[in-house]
């Protein structure tokens, strides 16, 4: 009910992250806002997995519930709005998939052309479908994400009319920090620990900034320790050196030389947390566990955060009664090809009648 006592119908009250968190963002009243009403994603308690992990209070932040199915929308609303404000003629990004999907959707909303550069053969099908469906011009390069990012940075440097919307664009991280605000608003306090997958290292940096700003504003009494999780075949921050040929089933975080690496290392250190690496097998195990014990379908890169927690359960990082938030960055529908072999395989019924069905199901 509103103050005047009328019923609010639907979710029309949520305006998107720029309007909702405007006092914390570099946005003046009256500036253009390109939004798909991103943010306000569920923070879901997971008591069964919390018990398995030693009696922690475990929550999942479901960023796959954003309009394009990943957390990228939080930063893209701001980056696209600023691109419009400065009169950019087009936007460009390099991407392992999700950034390209978000850029393409928000560019469509803004009426701007969108150019995306992706590593050939390594992007999950759902993400490709999104970028193309939203009308982006997609360039596949014979190289990895790191090389693609270097190329688009140089391109945007030479063609000033084209706005770069990767997370090296400062507005991206400003928008993404709103996820930390939401976690605190939803829990009523900062969690003790936040587990999060790390690729180009922008998101973990943005969360830390958000937690610090909320604490400074007196809206949280503490800040969480950060557990940043990389895939073992693409773990430059854990290994302390760039990885020339990153490899992992979690293609979203198949990154060997993260642009925000130094900021992420600083954030983890300030938080008293740690970085860890998990194998592809641990990632796929965690994604099955999420899907089959909690009903949550997350893409492999997202499941890395749960895999990291499982690896450290009982190793001193987790203690009974602790509040832990695990960030699930993207929706499982993004990557059906990786998911399909993971669950039970389809069975055939001899004919479409009850007896055949009962036979096939073993009833
Ligand atoms: N999870 C998902 C689902 C992602 O798509 C990404 C990054 C990350 C985690 C890691 O976040 O880079 O801020 O450390 N995807 C980028 C992209 C690189 O192009 O979509 P990060």
Helix (H) or strand (E) run with residue 94 in it: strand 90-94
Atom of ligand 1 nearest to the CA of 206: 13
Rounded to the nearest whole angstrom, what is the distance from the C-alpha of residue 200 to the centroid of ligand 1?
6
pLDDT by residue for the chain (363 residues), tens only, comes to 344 444 545 556 899 999 999 999 999 999 999 999 999 999 999 999 999 999 999 999 999 999 999 999 999 999 999 999 999 999 999 999 999 999 999 999 999 999 999 999 899 999 999 999 999 999 999 999 999 999 999 999 999 999 999 999 999 999 999 999 999 999 999 999 999 999 999 999 999 999 999 999 999 999 999 999 999 999 999 999 999 999 999 999 999 999 999 999 999 999 999 999 999 999 999 999 999 999 999 999 999 999 999 999 877 889 999 999 999 999 999 999 999 999 999 999 999 999 999 999 999
**CA–CA separation, 194 vs 207, rounded Å?**
9
Q: Which of 98, 144, 153 to mutate to test the pocket of ligand 1 (most atoms within 8 A of CB)?
A: 98
Rounded to the nearest whole angstrom, what is the distance from the C-alpha of residue 33 to the centroid of ligand 1?
24
> Structure tokens of 157?
């440097």
Rounded to the nearest whole angstrom, what is the distance from the C-alpha of residue 356 to the centroid of ligand 1?
45
Q: Which of 329, 331, 338 to mutate to test the pocket of ligand 1 (most atoms within 8 A of CB)?
A: 329
Q: Any alpha helices (H) in 21-124, and if so which ranges?
A: 47-52, 72-85, 98-110
Q: In what order do the strands lie in the sheet with 225-231?
A: 43-45, 57-62, 323-328, 193-197, 225-231, 274-278
Within 6 A (CB) of ligand 1 lie 70, 95-99, 167, 197-203, 252-253, 299, 301-302, 329-330
The pTM of the full predicted model, rounded to 2 decimals, is: 0.96
Helix (H) or strand (E) run with residue 203 in it: helix 202-216
Rounded to the nearest whole angstrom, what is the distance from the C-alpha of residue 362 to the centroid of ligand 1?
42
Rounded to the nearest whole angstrom, what is the distance from the C-alpha of residue 199 to the centroid of ligand 1?
5
CB-count exposure of residue 226 (10 Å: 0-12, 13-18, 19+): buried
């Amino acid at each position: 009910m509103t103050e005047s006592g009328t019923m609010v119908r639907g979710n029309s009250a949520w305006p998107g992250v720029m309007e909702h968190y405007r006092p914390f963002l570099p946005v003046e009243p009256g500036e253009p806002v390109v939004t798909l009403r991103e943010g306000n994603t569920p923070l879901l308690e997971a008591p069964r997995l919390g018990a398995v992990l030693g009696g922690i209070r475990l929550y999942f932040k479901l960023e796959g519930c954003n309009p394009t199915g990943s957390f990228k929308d939080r930063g893209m609303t701001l980056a696209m709005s600023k691109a419009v404000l400065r009169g950019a003629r087009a936007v460009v990004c390099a991407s392992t998939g999700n950034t390209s999907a978000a850029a393409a959707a928000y560019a469509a909303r803004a009426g701007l052309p969108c150019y995306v550069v992706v590593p050939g053969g390594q992007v999950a099908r759902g993400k490709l479908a999104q970028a193309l469906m939203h009308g982006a011009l997609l360039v596949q390069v014979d190289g990895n994400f790191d090389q693609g990012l270097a190329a688009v940075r140089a391109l945007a440097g030479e063609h000033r009319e084209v706005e770069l919307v990767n997370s090296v664009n400062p507005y991206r991280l400003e928008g993404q920090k709103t996820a930390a605000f939401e976690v605190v608003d939803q829990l009523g306090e900062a969690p003790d620990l936040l587990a999060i997958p790390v690729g180009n290292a922008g998101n973990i940096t943005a969360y830390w900034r958000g937690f610090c700003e909320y604490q400074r504003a007196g809206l949280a009494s503490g800040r969480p320790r950060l557990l940043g999780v990389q895939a073992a075949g693409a773990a430059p921050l854990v290994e302390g050196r760039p990885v020339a040929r990153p490899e992992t089933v979690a293609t979203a975080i198949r990154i060997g030389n993260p642009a925000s690496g130094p900021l992420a290392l600083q954030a983890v250190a300030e938080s008293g947390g740690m970085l860890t690496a998990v194998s592809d097998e641990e990632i796929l195990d965690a994604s099955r566990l999420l899907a089959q014990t909690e009903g949550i379908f997350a893409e492999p890169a997202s499941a890395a955060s749960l895999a990291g927690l499982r690896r450290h359960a009982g190793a001193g990082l987790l203690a009974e009664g602790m509040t832990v938030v695990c960030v699930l960055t993207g929706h499982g529908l993004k990557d059906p090809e990786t998911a399909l072999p993971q669950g039970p395989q389809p069975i055939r019924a001899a004919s479409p009648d009850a007896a055949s069905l009962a036979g096939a199901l073993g009833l």
